[in-house]
Structure 1
Amino acid sequence: MNPTRFHWKGLEQVAAQVLSCAGARREDAQLVAQSLVHADLRGVESHGLSRLPIYVQRIEAGLIELSLRPALIVRQGATALIDGKNQFGAVVGVAALDEAKQLARQNGIGFVGVRHSNHFGSCSYYAEQAVAEGLILLVLSNAPASMAPTGGIEPFFGTNPIAVGIPAGEEPPFLLDMATSVAARGKIALAAKQGTPIPGDWAIDADGLPTRDPTKALLGSLLPIGGAKGYGLAMFIDIFCGLLTGAAVGPGVKSLYGNWQHPQDIGHVFLCIDVQRFLPLETFRKSMDEYIRQIKSVPTACGVAEILIPGEIEQRTMTARKKDGIPLPQTVVEELTKLCSAYGTDLSQAVCTA
């Protein structure tokens, strides 16, 4: 089988079937599948279905607590703390998002910290949901050590992503989703699977030298965006998501890969703001539209067709892929085909037929 494109709903169904057969609750399996396919729809393959095999392997190793539910430890005023109970990161993330939205509607703002979680997919998965309800959302997460502090050569921080979603009206919403490293580690792992080189400013090898070899990069360290500025952002996120919530920090956050003894103990932060505590939502949407149009009206540099806002490329990619299908890398197709066969389902049912 050598398909080129897959229907997104079909991929959700296949991934959910695999996770259910591996022991996940049906509703949890569907949610995790949606979060993974969301990333592939946006063109962020590093956080998409390429992660499904490792999720299943960690289920098989008993490192995901499928029977437990995320638990509210404390709620006070506009703040809350959630224990993820080592569930799927996406299940924990949605529970935290729901709590943050509820607090924001009650108080104008909701600040929710999370501990004892796992890899929760793309931050944009949560920001997009809040934006759809006319809310602003800031999402932070720490991650397993893969990036050295500026001046060092040994990983200490994770890629520690940050996302911000802000609703607009007729214009696309502002949806910034970025790692604090130059590139997400998942992109380098995907390049290693495919045997393709990476840009020379993404990472250093174990000796601290720049490398274009993704395998050497995975054994070395990622580089922060903007040098010391990215390092500072990564540290701030680690403090908020780890020290503040009681989750692990720095090298204490366990790897998703190559770690078969310990839960990850990742920490997240969800900060939700109810726009209507400041302005009527429609007034804000119109102001955002005007603001975005002003930005887009700035004269462009030579060779630049148009000015785009954060998240616009991914939104266009999502629209196109929902219509024309998702092209998965052949290495990912082969892994998923093998995984589906082991769990009694068939990836070919998701192939686009038109």
Structure 2
Amino acid sequence: MNISVSALKELVAQKFTAHGVDAETAAQVADVLIYADLRGVSSHGVMRVEHYITRLKAGGITKNPNFSVEKRGTNHLLFKGDNGFGHVICKEAMDETIKIAKEHGSCTTIIQESSHCGALGYFLEQATSENLIAIMCSQTDSAVVPFGGKEPYFGTNPIAYGFPTDDKPIILDMATSNVALGKILYAREKGETIPNTWGVDVQGAPTTDPHQVKSLTPFAGAKGYGMALVVDVLSGILASAAFGPHISKMYGDYEQKRNLGQYLYVLDPNIFGDIDQFKANISQMINELHDAPTAPNFDQVLVPGEIEQKRSAETMEKGIDLPEQVYNYLNS
């Protein structure tokens, strides 16, 4: 089912307000979800609405949270989200982080009492639009087997980097698993098979059936496993939150608050040099990569985030394709 971006935003926001969410919060959550759908990352898009409302109705998301910001030293913040929508928590926390980074050159923020926040790239673009560099990571519940293991331990634990340029920012937003769990769920919704490198079944064997996936696999073996550990230390243990298999499940125990942690770091490039020169050098790097000789079956070398940015521009014009089940739920 195809729907225009504006119509979808209105539909998603109305779905949330119908369940008692205030209009501003509903619009913000819808904006983050559609950001993902525009970029072809449907696993983090509006297909998640039904899940969020299920958790909201059960009490696992605070409908009217009270956020608090505590300054720790000159340029460190502790942001408590009162277990509201992670999309709004992270947006507000990034706004506060940007303010301090502009004043003092950098800022590190630890977020406590959060929930699932969607695509990290959305929040990085808040910073890159202000000519700032940003890093963000978020813990997730156990879903990925550790390198050499059979049972899941860490979550997909995404980490993202954003760099301002003279044009569109460079955004590297990646799970530390081969794919995000949402891609498995999306394949289930669409009735599609998956590559056998995405997940393993109950026996720990690779599978192409998304319904048989019990655990995901880390990207690049030991390297992805190591990065997942780093993310859980920064966004979990440092935030005095649970970690690994001790994190509450996203799909289950809907009445429980998730108390997730997230980590933000924002840096002003002017601390180490001139921002215009910084962006000029990045533009040179991008142009050189674009002009680099290509391997067979490739038209051009691209930089991180570029495919998603091009897809976003195209999708804005033609509208967003939704699985019929998701479309029907939003209209119900």
Task: State the partner residue of 1:250.
Answer: 244
**1:46-61 aligned within 5 A:** 46-61=43-58
1:200 corresponds to 2:207: no
1:301 corresponds to 2:298: no
Task: State the partner residue of 1:352.
Answer: none
**Amino acid paired to 2:6:** K
| Selected match of 2:211 from 195, 208, 215 | 215
Task: State the partner residue of 2:96.
Answer: 99
- Unpaired segments of 5 or more residues in structure 1? 342-354
| Selected match of 1:184 from 180, 183, 203 | 180
1:332 offset after TM fit, Å?
A: 2.2
1:277 corresponds to 2:282: no
- 3-state SS of paired residue (1:140): strand
| Selected match of 1:262 from 256, 263, 267 | 256
Stretch deviating more after TM superposition (325-334 or 142-151): 325-334
Distance 1:304 1:14 in 2: 38
Q: How many residues in Structure 1 have an aligned counterpart in Structure 2?
A: 332
1:283 offset after TM fit, Å?
A: 1.8
Distance 2:259 2:153 in 1: 15
1:50 offset after TM fit, Å?
A: 0.2
1:175 corresponds to 2:180: no
| Deviation readout 1:2-58 (Å, 9 max, x if unpaired) | xx4211122111111111121112111111010001100111000000000111111
Distance 1:251 1:134 in 2: 37
Distance 1:37 1:146 in 2: 25
1:75 offset after TM fit, Å?
A: 2.9
Give the TM-score of the pair, scaled to structure 2.
0.97
| Deviation readout 1:285-304 (Å, 9 max, x if unpaired) | 11111111111221111221
- Alpha carbons of structure 1 residues 176 and 184: separation in structure 2 relative to 1, 3 Å: same
Indicate the RMSD between aligned Cα atoms, in angstroms. 1.3
| Selected match of 1:165 from 157, 162, 166 | 162
1:326 corresponds to 2:320: yes
| Deviation readout 1:286-340 (Å, 9 max, x if unpaired) | 1111111111221111221111110001000111111121112223223323xxx
| Deviation readout 1:173-213 (Å, 9 max, x if unpaired) | 21111100001000001111222111001111111111111
Task: State the partner residue of 1:9.
Answer: 6
Distance 2:58 2:194 in 1: 32
**Amino acid paired to 1:253:** I
- 3-state SS of paired residue (2:36): helix
**Amino acid paired to 1:186:** G
Task: State the partner residue of 1:64.
Answer: 61
Question: Percent of counterpart pairs with the same letter?
Answer: 37
Stretch deviating more after TM superposition (229-238 or 202-211): 202-211
1:146 corresponds to 2:139: no
1:163 offset after TM fit, Å?
A: 0.9
Stretch deviating more after TM superposition (292-301 or 39-48): 292-301
| Deviation readout 1:199-257 (Å, 9 max, x if unpaired) | 0011111111111111111xx21000000110000000001111101122111221221
- 3-state SS of paired residue (2:320): coil
Task: State the partner residue of 2:75.
Answer: 78
User: Is the 8 Å Cα contact of residues 174 and 309 (structure 1) preserved in structure 2?
Assistant: yes
**Amino acid paired to 2:257:** P
Distance 1:44 1:142 in 2: 19
Task: State the partner residue of 1:26.
Answer: 23
**Amino acid paired to 1:324:** K
Distance 1:131 1:307 in 2: 22
Give the TM-score of the pair, scaled to structure 1.
0.91
- 3-state SS of paired residue (1:23): coil
User: Is the 8 Å Cα contact of residues 114 and 247 (structure 1) preserved in structure 2?
Assistant: no
